[in-house]
Amino acid sequence: MNYASIFFDDTVNGIGFRTSLFVSGCSKNPPCKGCWSPLARGFDYGMPYTEDTKESILDSLKKQYVKGLSILGGEPMDNLGDGVLLDLVKEIRTKFPQKTIFCWSGYTFEELIKDPIRLEFLKHVDMLRDGEYIESLKDIAQYLSGSKNQRIIAVSESLKQNKIILYNNFIII
Ligand code: SF4
């Protein structure tokens, strides 16, 4: 897997200070109209994700004030084939159970859970920002901006109740 960038102490993509990993590559065809990261749709874009990359992410999460990891793209859900993202979230769950994992996807929750590999990954994610970016529904005023159709989903609760539970319904730390 390649990644486009990592932001440390990021305050834009989620709650509190976070580490934000932007993976490269998106297979959405056609792509979202108005895609906000056309360069990062290429799977060869950016730098190879290595063991050192993983260690730098894990190191950043040792800081008490860092609330967790945000995974964006590109399209994270099109980057599960080599297993490195699953390995990363599993390791975070083990080493930092109190930190949150947020993920952005251009696919809907309902589409994602049909695929066993994506479902397995989602089980380690606290919040999913889901759905295609639709430029005509753009809303910069809403939390995490994007477009109005995109939802902020509490993943484990949604899986447990077999219906969409929004993350805003929960106390956010
Ligand atoms: S999912 Fe993201 S990277 Fe892919 S086309 Fe849509 S906005 Fe662009």
Tell if the pTM clears 0.95, that is, is over it: no
Probe residue for ligand 1, chosen from 77, 129, 133, 145 as the CB with the greatest number of ligand atoms within 8 Å: 133
First to last CA, the chain: 30
Distance CA 76, CA 73 (A): 6
Among candidate residues 87, 105, 132, 96, the one with its CA nearest the CA of residue 25: 105
pLDDT at site 107: 96
Q: Compute mean pLDDT per 10 residues along the chain, 173 residues long, and list them.
A: 97 93 96 88 97 98 97 97 97 97 96 98 96 85 79 95 82 45
Is-contact 17 9, C-beta < 8 A?
A: yes
Query: From the alpha carbon of 34, which atom of ligand 1 is closest?
Result: 7
φ/ψ of residue 152, rounded to 5: -110, 100
pLDDT number for residue 138: 83
Distance CA 11, CA 113 (A): 29
Q: What is the C-alpha separation between 82 and 79, in angstroms, rounded?
A: 7
Whole-number pLDDT of residue 173: 41
Q: Report pLDDT for 172.
A: 47
Ligand 1 touching residue 146 (CB < 6 A)? no
